[in-house]
Amino acid sequence: MNDHVDKRPDQLEARLRRMLGRRAEHASEGERLAASAHRGGHQLIARRRVLAGLTGVAAVAIAAPVGARVLGGPQPTRLAPTGPDERELPRKPVPLRIDLEKLPKGGPPRVPYYSAGDGVIRDGDRTIPVEAKPSDIVFFAPVEGGYVVQVGDLPATSALLDTDGTELLPLTPGNEHVAFALLPAISADGRRLAWSEWNGDAGKGTLMVADATGDIVGERPFGKGRYVWPVGFVGDRILLGSDADSGYAQLWNPDTDRATDLDLEGPFATDGSRHAIPGGSSAVFDARTGERLWRIDKGSASAGCMTKDGHYLLLQGGDNAEVLYVHDLETGRLLFQIRAVTRIDRAVPEPNGDLLLGVQQEIDDEYVMALVRCPVHGEAELATEPVSGTSAAPVALPVHR
């Protein structure tokens, strides 16, 4: 090594020491830390006791009886009964607890998933390369003949890819303050996608619609500082919501560019025939008649999503999203109340109705993640081995929208 190379690290190290010392002087005092830690500590101890109790009731997995409906947590008030026979419902709440250290190994996922360590989407026998670093967060959703992929946190890059990973159409990310709306909404047949392009400085943007082949088929400007985003497809039309106006809900037909106002408060999900609104009283409405089908009267669960197959409404709860409430979209019945040790990332139904979860868990001071299958009938099992990694999600399931 020459002299120049030898000396530079030492100079840098000295500069680092001085700079860090000066910066540290500007840290805040944290006067209320002791009191806050007392409160938090008590809550943590209490939570551990509750978890220990739950473990005693139903450790690791529950063998749910055929046709069983699992109760517990927020209960729905069914306003227009359309669901299964009441006799199929269990009499007692049955919680389900997921502990990655105790689950048996099961078959591989039956839906596509992203593997950050390999940098590929695995879709059956096919692997689709994604241009991402192992540390990147990747969101994706399948469309007909390809995938929509978002790489990175914020800022992010998004694109429509074909099944070889070739970029068909670059997508401009939306509003970073509405992170859940960054990925496009996708039609039920996977042939169309809709997203919002947003110019934060100008306070305006454009709704975009494209075929899954990459051809733009519709555009509609919006503005006045209100970010409008496509909640999802309702047939050929698109349900629109807004981040700044909870009363904003429109159905837009991109073919005719006509929009219809809906009497719907802050829609966050639709499966095409039903819309859901969030909050402490989540409710589901009939998309055709506007009739409220059911609502959840109580509960601390936050807004989640509907699964693409139209079977489930998923709501997350707990301080760290460690609880997942899985409701039957038809009736509002709570099917599963799934509690993970640390956190549940996302859930996707497999073709046979089993639910696949992305589960994160702290084990020996390290965070690992695995995909876990929760069959309607049977025991929970690992669909992938737990892995650690530098990405926020070393394994990621597709996003529903």
Partner 1 sequence: MVSEPLDFDSYVAARRRSLMRTAYLLTGEHHAAEDLVQTALTRAYAAWRRIKDSGAVDAYVRRTMVNVDASWWRRAWRRLERTTDTIPERAIPPPVVEDSEGDEQLWNAVQQLAPRQRAVIVLRYYEDRSEAETAELLGCARGTVKSTSYQALAKLRAALGADLTKADLTTKADLIEKDGR
- Nearer of residues 71 and 137 to partner 1, judged by Cβ: 137
Q: How far is the CB of 224 from partner 1 (least distance, A)?
A: 16
C-beta separation of 225 from 231 below 8 A: no
Please tell me the distance from the alpha carbon of residue 88 to that of residue 35, in angstroms, as a whole number.
Answer: 48
Of 3, 6, 29, 85, which lies in the binding site for partner 1, with binding defined by CB under 8 A?
29
Supply the minimum distance, in Å, between the C-beta of residue 144 and partner 1: 28
58 lies in the site for partner 1, by CB under 8 A:
no
Does 362 engage in binding with partner 1 (CB under 8 A)?
A: yes
Contacts of 228 (CB under 8 A, 6+ apart): 196, 205, 207, 222, 240, 241, 242, 248
Near partner 1 by CB under 8 A: residue from 1, 3, 6, 22: 22
d(CA 154, CA 338): 30
Assess 179 for contact with partner 1 (CB under 8 A). Answer: yes
Query: Coil, strand, or helix at residue 357?
Result: strand
Q: How far is CA 163 from CA 25, 122, 143, 146, 182, in A?
A: 53, 11, 10, 5, 21
**Residue placing its CB nearer to partner 1 in the complex, 43 or 199:** 43
- Residue from the set 178, 188, 363, 376 that interacts with partner 1 by CB under 8 A: 178
3-state DSSP call for residue 367?
strand
Site string for partner 1, 70-99 (x = CB under 8 A): ------------------------------
Q: 139 and 148 in contact (C-beta within 8 Å)? A: no
49 near partner 1, judged by CB under 8 A:
no
Backbone angles phi, psi at 285, to 5 degrees: -115, 150
Per CB under 8 A, 360 contacts partner 1:
yes
User: In whole angstroms, what is the distance from residue 277 CA to residue 309 CA?
Assistant: 18
Interface residue with partner 1 among 166, 273, 300, 390 (CB under 8 A) is 390
- CB contact set of 132 (below 8 Å; sequence gap of 6+): 116, 119, 138, 151, 152
139 or 233: CB nearest partner 1: 139
Q: 2, 9, 85, 201: which one contacts partner 1 (CB under 8 A)?
A: 9
Helix, strand or coil for residue 208?
strand
As measured in angstroms, the least distance from the Cβ of 298 to partner 1 is 22
Contact, 305 vs 314, CB < 8 A? yes
Binding mask 255-284 for partner 1 (x = CB under 8 A): -----------x------------------
Query: In the window 117-156, what residues touch partner 1 (CB under 8 A)?
Result: 135, 137, 153-154
Give the nearer residue to partner 1 in terms of CB position, either 47 or 105. Answer: 47
β partners of residue 204: 199
Q: Is 37 in the site for partner 1 (CB under 8 A)?
A: yes
DSSP letter at 65 equals P
Task: Name the residues that contact partner 1, by CB under 8 A.
Answer: 8-9, 11-31, 33-34, 36-38, 40-42, 44-45, 48, 135, 137, 153-154, 176-180, 243-244, 246, 266, 320-321, 342-343, 345, 360, 362, 364-367, 389-394
